[in-house]
Amino acid sequence: FLATGAAAVGDGVTALGSSLTIKILSDRPISAPQFGIYSHRLGDAYLAGGASNSGGKVLAQHFSLARIIELSAAMDPMTETGLDYYPLPAVGERFPVADPALPPRLTPRPADDADYLKAMFEGIAAIEALGYRRLAELGAPRLTSIRSVGGGAANVAWTAIRQRKLGVDFLPALSDEAAAGTARLALMGAIAAGLL
């Protein structure tokens, strides 16, 4: 989160790796174990969010990275498939729905592989949007911007789908390296201690 440059209350960071993780900078802690939501203190603020079982792992069960790249180039991210997927790699979800018995929803499968992948992108984006919405319902600030990290952040089509579903500014991450975030945290500590 820190490495991305997110710094204002309402800034969100979504990590699109093997799983989908979201955090928002909040002026108050948000804790709702029934939804898999937790907070970490960060100076005078809090990082609130959670991690879904959905994400890149489920995509990799169906397509290789090379095929994902190929299919992504063939899709129109500005139209909807109309499919209501909840992509999970196996039964069970932890956020924004905490349900160990929740089954994956990946049917009906369209004949076109690009449409199938697009429907999965849409489903994961819907989970992301639900996560930020659930945080707001529990008292987190309104989401004002998103920075994205992880392998999925480089996918232009998926990013366009996410922008359409979330309706907020997508800002470039300054870095996605944990070391950069650690350095920023050290700098914040040094400033707070009056060392700089």
Give me the amino acid identity at 94: R
Largest CA distance in the chain: 62
C-beta of residue 173 within 8 angstroms of C-beta of residue 5? yes
Residue 177 binned pLDDT confidence (cut-offs 50, 70, 90) = confident
Mean pLDDT in the chain? 93
The average pLDDT across 99-121 equals 97
Does the pLDDT value for residue 181 go beyond 80?
A: no
CA 194 to CA 132: how far, in whole Å? 35
Among all chains, which residue has been given the structure tokens 């018995």?
101
Does the pLDDT value for residue 185 go beyond 80?
A: no
Write out the CATH class of domain 2-183: alpha beta
Rg (CA), the chain: 17
pLDDT of residue 87: 98
Please state the domain extents for the chain: 2-183
pTM of the model: 0.92
pLDDT of residue 178: 73
Does the pLDDT value for residue 106 go beyond 70?
A: yes
Does the pLDDT value for residue 186 go beyond 80?
A: no
The average pLDDT across 120-144 equals 97
Strands 20-26 and 11-16: antiparallel
Residue 193 binned pLDDT confidence (cut-offs 50, 70, 90) = confident
The average pLDDT across 1-19 equals 94
CA 82 to CA 138: how far, in whole Å? 29
